Amino acid sequence: MANETLKAGMQAYNAKVEKSLAKFPERKNLAPNRLYTPLDIEGFDYEKDLGFPGEYPFTRGVQPTMYRGRFWTMRMYAGFSTAEESNKRYRYLLESGGTGLSVAFDLPTQIGYDSDHAMAEGEVGKVGVAIDSLADMEILFDQIPLDKVSTSMTINAPASVLLAMYIAVAEKQGVSADKLNGTIQNDILKEYAARGTYIFPPKPSMRLITNIFEFCSKNVPNWNTISISGYHIREAGATASQEIAFTIADGIAYVEAAIKAGMNVDDFAGRLSFFWNAHNNVLEEVAKFRASRRIWAKVMKERFGAQKAKSQMLRVHTQTAGSMLTAQQPDNNIIRVALQTAAAVMGGTQSLHTNSKDEALALPTEDSVRIALRTQQIVAYESGLADTVDPLAGSYYVEALTNKIEAEAWDYIKKIDEIGGAPVAIEKGYIQKEIQDSAYKWQMEVEKNERVIVGVNKFQIEEKPIEGLLRVDASVGELQKKKLADLRAKRDNAAVDAKLAALEAGCKDENVNLMPLILDAVRAYATEGEICGVMRKVFGEYQAHTTL
């Protein structure tokens, strides 16, 4: 069919659609309200913009075979209460067929406070596991061989300390650092913009990140040194385009910082990874994954001159959308998570965590976690979605939406470049305001019933109180305080003081890589709070930007 004939047919079709939709005002905001045809991807160069899986620009995936070779890593995010309790959950997940671990830390650990600090009161073990020292980390990974599992740790400001603890535990197991596989989140820019678990100001924070890049490139070569995280940006209210744009802009800033510190891009870029949210709109999410790979490949090749294919690949861990879970009718969340799982798989994720149905109410129970893991396994083994690479490629709609999301993301990246880069855009409040505006728009649509959330603003039922939710007992805080007191009584405190003094001196010299000094302090059983306290003393603390 000639283009002119197709255009005429489309005009007539769209007129019919508009007339028909006028009868359904509640559907007036539906996007898209039309049929997609080859016209919507006119000018699309399949060789340049699509290519083969495992080849530049990686739109169709970062491996040639994708899941035909092996499934994504099924990495369940877990951690609560004490190291002992979390260790039981980890071993249960591995025995149930999980193929990787993902550690959730409590808030005091995330912001560098020991469990006996006044700021930790009431928060110990609540939203993750409490880790105060190497002694806790040893318990956390007891009977879990670290050369056999891949571990992701959601930790940012004190990432250097928790990574050092992990390396030290491996040493005690007889596993050398070069045998370790896993990821630390280590993404401080999104903390300033969207999440809030920061400690130090941007400059020393970026120094710590580049120190980790350099240390791991030489000593822990299989470790993913950063998970540049769009997940929390999306959870804060960003759109799909904003999620990948703001995250890739952060990634650009990290690459620039590493190059400025004297590193060669191909020496570290292959260990950078990303972290996406899998939201409810299945086809939009698939297009988002595909667009993000294409953007990053172009950034690394054209902007930074990366030569290695691994340096150009956007490898991604995904988590289903916590912000889309509802406290109302929580069983509905099982269906939401299944659809989000399908989106992540069709989008080509490298690893995946599926949320549990009760997480809008409390930490997940063991039964809920098993259902969440089984969701991944059913999609992997029964759905057929893993049987072919990039199953939606060539769909007129998906290709057009991939192009649209890519174009919108490039517009944001260019705007951030004009402002002066992601750190400056965050300092000026630009990124925060864009996220907040999108979150407000979404919420207004829900409150006006223009966006239906099943069980929330439509299809409500009278519900009974839910029983059997997991609760963390307040005694956990007292137990951690006792463990800390016992540790400080038994360890060689003179050795700890010497290691902390060496770290303080290193913090004052910008030419010193701090990772070996932090590792020395950890091995001597200095606590996380003591190590972060030294860095707080030298670096100071970040004060949030409140003017948007």
Q: What is the CATH number of the domain that holds 266?
A: 3.20.20.240
pLDDT at 80: 80
Segment 122-131 mean pLDDT: 93
Alpha helices in 269-331 (DSSP H): 282-298, 309-312
Is the pLDDT at 547 greater than 60? The verdict is no
Average predicted confidence (pLDDT) for the chain: 92
- The predicted pLDDT at position 545 comes to 65
Tell me what percent of the residues of the chain surpass a pLDDT of 70: 97
Asked if the structure places residue 282 within a domain, the reply is: yes
Q: How many residues does the chain have?
A: 548
Measure the CA–CA gap between 174 and 543, rounded to whole angstroms: 42
pLDDT tens, position by position, 108-120: 999 999 999 999 9
The pTM of the full predicted model, rounded to 2 decimals, is: 0.90
At 87, is the pLDDT very low, low, confident or very high (cuts 50, 70, 90)? very high
Q: Is 109 inside any structural domain?
A: yes
Mean pLDDT highest for which of 24-28, 64-68, 497-501? 497-501
Evaluate whether 242 touches 403 at the Cβ level (below 8 Å).
no
Is residue 514 domain-resident? no
Question: What residues are paired with 116 via a beta bridge?
Answer: none
pLDDT digits (tens, 9 = 90+) for 4-47: 787 788 788 777 777 777 777 666 665 555 678 887 887 778 77
CA–CA dist 71, 294 (Å, integer)? 22
Pairing of strands 316-320, 351-353: parallel
The answer as to whether 472 is a domain residue is no
pLDDT tens, residue by residue, 445-481: 999 999 999 999 999 999 988 888 877 777 889 999 9
385-420 pLDDT, tens per residue? 999 999 999 999 999 999 999 999 999 999 999 999
Predicted pLDDT of residue 473: 77
Angle between helices 528-539 and 159-173 (to 10 degrees): 150
Find all residues with CB under 8 Å of 415, minimum gap 6, and list them. Answer: 430
Of the listed ranges 53-62, 97-106, 195-204, the one predicted with least confidence: 97-106
Look at residue 149 in the predicted model and tell me its pLDDT: 92
Whether residue 139 contacts residue 84, with contact meaning beta carbons closer than 8 Å, is answered with: yes
**Per-residue pLDDT reduced to its tens digit, 354-377:** 999 999 998 888 899 999 999 999
The boundaries of the domain holding residue 259 are 46-447
Whether 400 is in a domain gets the answer: yes
Domains held by the chain: number:
1
Tell me, letter by letter, the H, E, C secondary structure of 122-149: CCCCCCCECCCCHHHHHHHCCCCCCCCC
CA distance 511 to 347: 41
Contacts of 160 (CB under 8 A, 6+ apart): 208, 211, 212, 514, 515, 518
Residue 71 inside a domain? The answer is yes
Residue 405 lies in a domain: yes
Cα 498 to the chain's mean position, in Å? 36
Residue 527 CA to residue 276 CA, distance in Å, equals 32
**pLDDT reading at 143 higher than 70:** yes
